[in-house]
Structure 1
Amino acid sequence: MPNDNAVMARRREMATEHLLFKTMEYVEQRHPGLLDMLEQSLDHLGDPAEDETKDDKAVQEIARRMIEGARREI
């Protein structure tokens, strides 16, 4: 049986991503430039982990793919 905490975390992540994507699309359609600004900010995004799992580039790539996905939907 799956870990209930893991299941809830996955569900929250999916819901949050959906709401974030729709918000990004909505704002970009009304105020062009949001996605460009977000893309330019990615160098400041990092992984908060303090162990061997820390990977700033992986976190930045996830954000980059999210921005690219939002651009495709507009």
Structure 2
Amino acid sequence: MTDDTAVQARRREIASEHLLFKLIEYVEQRHPGLLDFLEGSLDHLGDPAHDETKDDEAVRQIARQMITGARAEIAE
């Protein structure tokens, strides 16, 4: 049986990620430099977990992949 809370969280994450990508694309197309700025901020990004799941670099890698995807989408 699927946990309803986990399903809702996944759906919110998918929706939020889509809207964030579209916002980034919109701003970058009108004001170039946003993606460079975001990329430059990644050293300050970390995982707030306080247990064995904490992995700052994994969080940064996801952000890098999102930036790469946004750059590719804009280049099309």
Shared fold (TM-score, shorter chain, > 0.5): yes
Task: Give the 3-state SS of the residue equivalent to 1:22 in structure 2.
Answer: helix
Within a 5 Å distance, the mapping from 1:11-30 to structure 2 comes to 11-30=11-30
Partner of 2:31 in structure 1? 31
Aligned length: 74
Residue 47 (structure 2) pairs with residue 47 (structure 1):
yes
Aligned CA-pair RMSD: 0.4
Identity of aligned residues (%): 77
- TM normalised by structure 1 equals 0.99
Unaligned runs of 5+ in 2: none
- 1:17 Cα offset (Å): 0.2
Measure the CA separation in 1 of the matches of 2:37 and 2:72. 17
Partner of 1:66 in structure 2? 66
- 1:19 Cα offset (Å): 0.1
- TM normalised by structure 2 equals 0.96
